[in-house]
Amino acid sequence: MKKNRIKVIPAKKGETNRVFARPATLRDIDNHYCAGCGHGIIHRLICEVIDELGIREKVIAIAPVGCAVIAYDYWDFDVTEAPHGRTPAVATGIKRTRPNNIVFTYQGDGDLAAIGTAETIHAANRGENITIIFVNNGVYGMTGGQMAPTTLAGQKTATTIYGRSLRREGYPIRMLEILAPLPGARYLERVSVHSAHETLRAKRAIMKAFKTQVDGKGFSMVEVLSMCPTYWGMSAIKAAERIRSDVATFYPLGVVKTY
């Protein structure tokens, strides 16, 4: 537990010690995500890491197509946008032309593991010095909860109304394990935001991924298991519980590859 200690923030006037407040790079506005959606938590973790590393002025993020398409409205640092699945290609171009910037992509599982599979694998294989934050919520959220390559066997979605059939739709895909054998991939870890405890671990992994890039070590990717209560058809609390009981059993948490 000691590792999970929360940093004390200097108090506002007339207050006791503030130990938790909104990070400076997370704009103080409402987000558009559904109640209990993991995107909000992951946005904040990224902001905390950027603030703590002091790299706000150097960061360039690439927002995806998916529910996080307007992430640039929430992040108070430089963000651009790429067509669906193409963020690793855009990140490659930016990083190669501006090697002193810290470049990361934020992608859903439809974005990264379906339409953007080629971009992801080749960016890792080329050993691009970029960071990918991969949000695995097992569905296409933005377009109405269709099956994603990551959808679990038997899971009901808008396009698998009787549950994903392995015979018809194939097996769910573990992207980190696919990337691991590539020499260009340096740091790969899977984390989750289904509980406060796991969220603190997720932050450490995101920190390590950014440090990998800052230190010039090469390609880093963190897969974050995230709740989509809306298209899982359950409350946020049940969705978080489902990650613990089902999703994290198929997608084991932990470091897949490190240097």
Partner 1 sequence: MKAIKVKKPSGKIKINKDRCKGCYLCIVNCPNGRIKIAEDLNVKGVKPAIFSPGNCTGCAMCAVICPECIIEVYR
Per CB under 8 A, residues contacting partner 1 are: 6, 8, 11, 15-23, 26, 30-31, 33-41, 44, 193, 195-197, 199-200, 229, 235-237, 240
Return the structure tokens found at 55. Answer: 């790299």
Q: Which residues bind ligand TPP (CB under 6 A)?
A: 65-68, 83-84, 108-111, 115, 135, 137, 139-143, 148
- For residues 55 and 212, the answer to whether their CB atoms sit within 8 Å is no
Instruction: Say which entry of partner 1, ligand SF4, ligand TPP, none residue 68 contacts (CB below 5 to 8 A, set by partner kind).
Output: ligand TPP
Packing angle, helices 117-125 and 87-97, rounded to 10: 30
The residue length of the chain stands at 259
Choose which of 23, 141, 172, 218 interacts with ligand SF4 (CB under 6 A).
Answer: 141
Smallest gap from Cβ 110 to ligand TPP, in A, equals: 3
Nearest to 120 by CA among 64, 76, 159: 64
Smallest gap from Cβ 150 to ligand TPP, in A, equals: 8
- Whose Cβ is closer to partner 1: residue 48's or residue 119's? 48
Instruction: Say which entry of ligand SF4, partner 1, ligand TPP, none residue 237 contacts (CB below 5 to 8 A, set by partner kind).
Output: partner 1
Is residue 234 at the binding interface for ligand SF4, with CB under 6 A as the rule? no
Exposed, middle or buried: residue 136 (CB in 10 Å: 0-12, 13-18, 19+)? buried
- Whose Cβ is closer to ligand SF4: residue 25's or residue 230's? 230
Choose which of 24, 27, 34, 246 interacts with ligand SF4 (CB under 6 A).
Answer: 34
Nearest to 164 by CA among 223, 92, 246: 246
Smallest gap from Cβ 125 to ligand TPP, in A, equals: 21
108-137: contacts with ligand SF4 (CB under 6 A): 137
Instruction: Say which entry of ligand TPP, ligand SF4, partner 1, none residue 230 contacts (CB below 5 to 8 A, set by partner kind).
Output: ligand SF4
Q: Which residue has the tokens 């015979």?
A: 167
Is residue 77 at the binding interface for ligand SF4, with CB under 6 A as the rule? no
Instruction: Say which entry of ligand TPP, partner 1, ligand SF4, none residue 44 contacts (CB below 5 to 8 A, set by partner kind).
Output: partner 1
Phi, psi of 44 (to 5 degrees): -65, -40
Nearest to 259 by CA among 188, 192, 205, 175: 188
Q: Kindly write down the DSSP assignment for every residue of 98-134, as one continuous string.
A: -TTSEEEEEEEHHIIIIITHHHHHHHHHTT-S-EEEE
Distance CA 58, CA 50 (A): 9
Residues that bind ligand SF4 (CB under 6 A): 33-34, 37, 39, 67, 137, 141, 228-231
